[in-house]
Amino acid sequence: MRVLLATTANNGHFGPMVPFADACLQAGHDVLVAAPESFAGVVERAGHRHWPCPDVDPGERASLHAKFLAAEPEKRNETMVTLGAELAARSIMPGVLAALDEWRPDVVLREIGELGSAIAAELRGVPQVQMLIGLDKFVDFTLPLAARALVTYRESLGLPGDPEGENLHRAPSFSLLPPSLEVPRTQAGPEVHRFRVPAAAGTPLPGWWANDDAPLVYATFGTVAAGVPFAAAAFRTVVEALADLPVRVLATVGDSGDPSAWPALPPNVHVEQWVPQQDVLAHAAAMVCHGGTGTVLGGLAAGVPMVVVPQFADQPDNAERVAAVGAGIGVGGGETAPATAEEVRAAVTDVLTEPSYRKAARAMADEISALPPVDDAIGFLAKLALE
């Protein structure tokens, strides 16, 4: 079986698909990842072959970023989906179409934010599965906006406009999130098949701290915070707040961050660009994060309670769900109501000292470990490829 993955140039979008790609490869199937040229290094570091596709024009990308920052906070998600859907799809689609024609995959696994491959697969009649990168409730929000944005482009290719996104809604979905984390639904949602990633053993961390007996708190805002001014400022507040607590702090700033640019910090704080998340979480007593889905899922799978300081996109919703299941505390409201250092310190202290948070996080870890392994998804893909 030949499986073509398709992703935007976004670590948080590509990451959830990697375990499925690994499982296919290990089972002897062929795997190829269609992604923008700028994302080649990430794909290859993950151990997979990269099919280069055009990047979004830098000028258009800068304009979209400016419009995102200029939009009212409550309109930012809508702005990003509406403007980004057609722009990203139009950019990547010719490359994905070439992959379909030349490599001839049996099935396409695309992350839900990558819509050029959805159009290309429809044009060539190749079955597709969409990888959810967050709560399934966002299918209800993003797909109608994206579908309307793509009408003109679809029609230019000879496809029906599909303003309601019926073709997108028909695609079966994969998710790594446990059912309990989802927002309870009052009506049927997408066809979601849930899986888990086999737990990886963490390796020991270097001796970055003088006092290795203090609890370890992992602070991360993912890979994009450094490029968003208010999120970068919020992360600095978090790290400075943690520095005043009797804990060890490991802060990671992402590929676009620079640890050397940080001011002098006390010896209980260490800043790195990137450390394998499973290595840190294997030793962490708590995590402070922005609420990105991959980060939250990693913490819950490891049974680590957390403080979520959401900034934008789906992060406020993820913070609400973490609090709803009792596995942590949400603090602050992004740009309009940034968390204070005092709020962060109080929340972290509470999570470290109140056993109920760790108990709830462990319950989530148990639920995740009971899901079918990603290896089971191969049979689903193979069956879909034969239909």
Residue 288 domain flag = yes
Same domain for 186 and 318? no
Residue 189, pLDDT > 70, answer no
Residue 148 domain flag = yes
Residue 206 domain flag = no
Report the chain's mean pLDDT, rounded to a whole number: 91
DSSP-H helix ranges across 164-302: 166-170, 229-243, 277-281, 293-301
Confidence of residue 186 (pLDDT cuts 50, 70, 90): low
For 39-66, write each residue's pLDDT tens digit.
999 999 999 999 999 998 888 777 767 8
Residue 368, pLDDT > 90, answer yes
Same domain for 379 and 276? no
Same domain for 377 and 354? no
Average pLDDT on 144-160 reads: 92
Task: State what percent of residues in the chain have pLDDT above 90.
Answer: 69
Same domain for 316 and 375? no
CA dist 141 and 227 (Å) reads 25
Its pTM stands at 0.89
Please compute Rg for the chain using Cα positions: 21
Residue 106 domain flag = yes
Same domain for 302 and 233? yes
Same domain for 322 and 381? no
Same domain for 178 and 295? no
Q: Which amino acid is at 14?
A: F
Same domain for 24 and 170? yes
Same domain for 152 and 172? yes
Residue 183 domain flag = yes
Residue 205 domain flag = no
Same domain for 187 and 270? no
Residue 207 domain flag = no
- What pLDDT is attached to residue 187? 67
Full DSSP string of 319-369: HHHHHHTTSEEE--BTTTBPPPHHHHHHHHHHHHH-HHHHHHHHHHHHHHH
Same domain for 184 and 246? no
Confidence of residue 28 (pLDDT cuts 50, 70, 90): very high
DSSP-H helix ranges across the chain: 11-14, 18-26, 40-45, 58-70, 76-103, 116-124, 137-149, 151-156, 166-170, 229-243, 277-281, 293-301, 315-324, 341-353, 355-369, 377-386
CATH of the domain at 220: 3.40.50.2000
**Poorest-pLDDT segment among 140-154, 169-183, 317-331:** 140-154
Considering its fold, how many domains does the chain have in total?
2
| Contact indicator for 174, 131 with CB cutoff of 8 Å | yes
Range of the domain at 88: 2-196+371-386
